[in-house]
Structure 1
Amino acid sequence: MKNYLLLLATIFCFSLSTSAQGPNKNKKNKKGDLELIAAEPDKELVGETFNRWSVEADFGQAKGSKPYTDGYYANNPGKFFGGIDINHVGFGARYMFSPKFGVKANFNFDNLQKQGDSGSPAFQMEHIQFSGEGVTNLIRIFDIQKQAKRFGLLFHFGFQISRMQPKIGPYANVHEWNGGVVGGISPQFRIFKNVSIFLDFTVNSNVRQHFNWDGQSFSDPKNNLTGSLFRSTFGVSLALGKGKIHGDWAIIKDKNDKRLDSLNNKIGEIEDLMNDSDKDGVPDYLDVEQNSIAGVAVDTKGRMVDKNNNGVPDELEKYVANTIATNNNTTTAAATENAVLTLINDGYIAAYFDPAKSQPNPASASNIGFILNYLKNNPDKTVDITGFADEIGSNEYNNKLASDRAQAVKTILVKAGISESRLNILSNGEDNSVDKKSDWARRLVRKTLFKVK
C-alpha cells in the first residue's frame, strides 16, 4: 500500500505544480464556463452565495487489515508497484450547511483478494458499504482559504453499514451485515471553478464482524470481531448549483463585511467633503466659491467678502486703494484702472474647469462676473480669452478642449450683454507647467485667462 500511496502522491503533486504556476494566459472562454481561474483571491470567487451540493466518484485500493486466517494476507511487498490493485470504486454526494461544516453519503464497492504472487492462498471477499458522515473543511476552520488558494483539506467521520460475502471458499455466497465507524482525510485541488480532484485516505472499523477478510473463517456469532479496512483512493468532485463556485473555495462576503464596506465608503465621502480646494479655510461641501482668490477674505460659505455689494471683493478694493495711495504721480482713476488691469492681465482673475469639461465650474461665476462688470464699465475695451487644458489626453484633444473652454466663457459674456466683437478667442492647448501626476496641480491649469486690450 505504501507504493500505491507514493504513486498517488506523485500524480497529485504533479497536478498541483502544473496548475498553480500562475494565471492561465490562454483563456478560451471569456464567460468562464470552464475557464481556469487566475491566482486567488479573484473577484469571481467573491460573493454572498455559493454552491452547497457536490457529487463525487473515486477509485483506488482497499485492503482489509485484520482479521485474517493464518497463512492468508493481502500485501505483496516483493515488487515496487506489485502491490497496487485497483479494487475499489465509490460514489457519493456532499452537502455543506456552511463553508465549514456539512454532511456526506457514500456508496463503496470493494473486491478484496490475493494480490499477484504475494504467496497467500487465493481468496476473494466482496464488500459493499453505505456510510453517512459529517464533513469539516479544515482550511476554513483555520481561516487560511486565501493563502491556500486552490488547495483544500476535508476531514470526515461518521457511521457505516456493510455487507460482506466471500466469493470462494467454504462460505462462498454466505453473507453478513456489519456496522461500525468510518473516518478519513481528503486533500483536494480545484482545477476548474466547480471541478476538483482529491485523494482520500479512509479507515473503516467494524464493531460487529464475524468473517475474516479472506472469507475462510467465520467466528461464533456471539463473539464479535473488530475488523479494520483501509482505503487509498483518487477521485473527482463536481459542484452543483447556480453559484459561481463551491463553498470550499468561495470567498464569502457576509453581512458584517457589507456593513464595513458601507462605513468605509461613508468615511471616504466625508474625507472628500472635507477637502478645501482653494485653501480658504472652508471645506468644499460648504464652499460656494471653490476657486476664491488666494489671500482674499471669505465668509462662512467660502464667498469672497463684498460688504458694499459693488461686485468687487473687499480685499481687492483694499489692494486698489493701496496702489492709489502709493502712486502719487497718477490720478486716482488711472491708478484704479492700472490696479484692475494688473489683476486681470496677470491671471488673478480666471475661470476654472472640471476634468474633460468645457463649461466653467460654478465656483468660477464670480470671476467671470468681475470681467463682465469691467467690460460694462469700459465699453471701449476688448478682451482676449485664452483657454488651457492639462496634459491628460492627446495634444489634438487638449487643443480643441482649450478652445472650447474659451468659447464657452465668451458665450456666457455675450449672453450677459457684451458684444461678440469685443471678445477674442485664443487656445493655448496644454499647460505643462505643473506636475501632471498631481491632481491638485492639474486643477490650476484647467482654466481660461483674460487679457484686456
Structure 2
Amino acid sequence: MFKIKALLIGLLMANFSFSQFNVNNLSIEASYGYNGAIQPYDKKFNSNFSAFNHVEFAARYMFTEFVGMKLAYKADKFVNDPKGDIGTQYNSFGLGIIYNAGKKLGLSYWTRDKFGLLVHADAALGFASSISLNGKTEKTPIIGLGITPMYKINNKVALTTDFTYNTNLKQYYGFDGYPLSSQKGTQKGSFYNFSVGLIYYLGENRYHSDWY
C-alpha cells in the first residue's frame, strides 16, 4: 500500500513539474484495422477468423514526457468466411501504461519531430458475445503488449500505426463462438490487432509532450 501511495505521489509531483514547460498532455485517438484470432477455435472451420474488424477509441494523458496512461474502448469481431454467421464479438474497456520510447531513443530529435514511437502495456475487461449461439456472453480479462509508430502531420494531428498482441487470461467460448472442451473448462486465448489511426492533441499550448 505504501509503495502504491509513493508511486502516485511521485507521478503527481512529476506531472506538476512537467506542466511548468507549458506543453499539452492530453490527446484523443481513433483507429481502425485488422484483427486475427490465434487460438482457440475449432480447426474444422476453414477460417482463421481474421479480417478488418477492429475499431478503437481512446483518450491518453502523459504524466511526464516519457510516461502516460490511456483509457480505451475496443471492438473486435471474429467471424468465419464468407457468411460471417460463426464467431464472436468482443467489446473491451481498459487502461494502458504508455512509454515514449522514441523520445528516449532520440528518434524525434533525429527526425526533426516527424517520427515517434510509443510502447504500451494494457489491461482490459472484455465482453465476448457468441454470434454462433445467438448472443451467449462471457467476461474475459485481457492483457496486451503493443508498439505504436507515429508520424506528426502538424502540432495538432499525428498519424499512427499500431501492432498489439493480446492474451485472454481465460475464456469459455472459442473465437468460433462455441464452448471449449468441457474437460478443459476455460482456457487461455490470444489474438492480435494491426491498425492505422489518428491522434488529435488537446490543449491551448503550441506543443504536445509527444514532440516537445
Normalization by structure 1: what TM-score?
A: 0.40
Partner of 1:239: 201
Partner of 1:128: 91
Q: CA distance change for structure 1 residues 227 and 243 in 2, over 3 Å: closer, same or farther?
A: same
Return the offset for 1:181: 1.0
Q: CA distance change for structure 1 residues 113 and 73 in 2, over 3 Å: closer, same or farther?
A: same
Contact 2:31 2:195 in 1 (8 A): yes
Q: CA distance change for structure 1 residues 221 and 196 in 2, over 3 Å: closer, same or farther?
A: farther
**Over the residues paired in the alignment, what is the CA RMSD in angstroms?**
2.2
Contact 2:27 2:201 in 1 (8 A): yes
- The structure 2 residue matched to 1:145, chosen from 91, 108, 120, is 108
Partner of 2:121: 157
**In structure 2, the residue corresponding to 1:112 is in which secondary structure?**
strand
Contact 1:210 1:220 in 2 (8 A): no
Instruction: Return the alpha-carbon distance in structure 2 between the equivalents of residues 219 and 246 of structure 1.
Output: 50
Say yes or no: does 1:197 pair with 2:159. yes
Amino acid at match of 2:144: V
Amino acid at match of 1:95: Y
Return the offset for 1:151: 0.2
**In structure 2, the residue corresponding to 1:175 is in which secondary structure?**
strand
- The structure 2 residue matched to 1:181, chosen from 143, 153, 170, is 143
More strand by share: 2
Instruction: Return the alpha-carbon distance in structure 1 between the equivalents of residues 62 and 172 of structure 2.
Output: 36
- The structure 1 residue matched to 2:59, chosen from 88, 93, 100, is 93
What does 1:184-333 align with in structure 2 at a 5 Å threshold? 184-220=146-182, 223-250=185-212
What does 1:26-175 align with in structure 2 at a 5 Å threshold? 48-72=21-45, 74-75=47-48, 85-116=51-82, 122-149=85-112, 150-168=114-132, 171-175=133-137
Return the offset for 1:73: 5.1
Amino acid at match of 2:131: K
Instruction: Return the alpha-carbon distance in structure 2 between the equivalents of residues 89 and 209 of structure 1.
Output: 21
Contact 2:103 2:109 in 1 (8 A): no
- What are the ranges of 5 or more consecutive residues in structure 2 without an aligned counterpart? 1-19
Q: CA distance change for structure 1 residues 153 and 211 in 2, over 3 Å: closer, same or farther?
A: same
Q: CA distance change for structure 1 residues 109 and 183 in 2, over 3 Å: closer, same or farther?
A: same
Q: C-alpha deviations, 1:104-154, integer Å up to 9, x for none?
A: 01101111112349xxx9513111111211000011222342113210110
Instruction: Return the alpha-carbon distance in structure 2 between the equivalents of residues 99 and 220 of structure 1.
Output: 49
Q: CA distance change for structure 1 residues 246 and 221 in 2, over 3 Å: closer, same or farther?
A: farther
What does 1:366-381 align with in structure 2 at a 5 Å threshold? none
- What are the ranges of 5 or more consecutive residues in structure 1 without an aligned counterpart? 1-46, 77-82, 251-453
Equivalenced residue count is 192
Instruction: Return the alpha-carbon distance in structure 1 between the equivalents of residues 206 and 153 of structure 2.
Output: 14
Larger CA Rg, structure 1 vs 2: 1
Return the offset for 1:220: 3.8
Q: Aligned residues: percent identity?
A: 27
Amino acid at match of 2:122: G
Q: C-alpha deviations, 1:54-74, integer Å up to 9, x for none?
A: 000001111211001131253
Q: Which has the higher contact order (CA 8 A, sep 6+)?
A: 2
Return the offset for 1:218: 3.5
**In structure 1, the residue corresponding to 2:136 is in which secondary structure?**
coil
Instruction: Return the alpha-carbon distance in structure 2 between the equivalents of residues 155 and 74 of structure 1.
Output: 31
Normalization by structure 2: what TM-score?
A: 0.83
Instruction: Return the alpha-carbon distance in structure 2 between the equivalents of residues 212 and 155 of structure 1.
Output: 29
Contact 2:85 2:131 in 1 (8 A): no
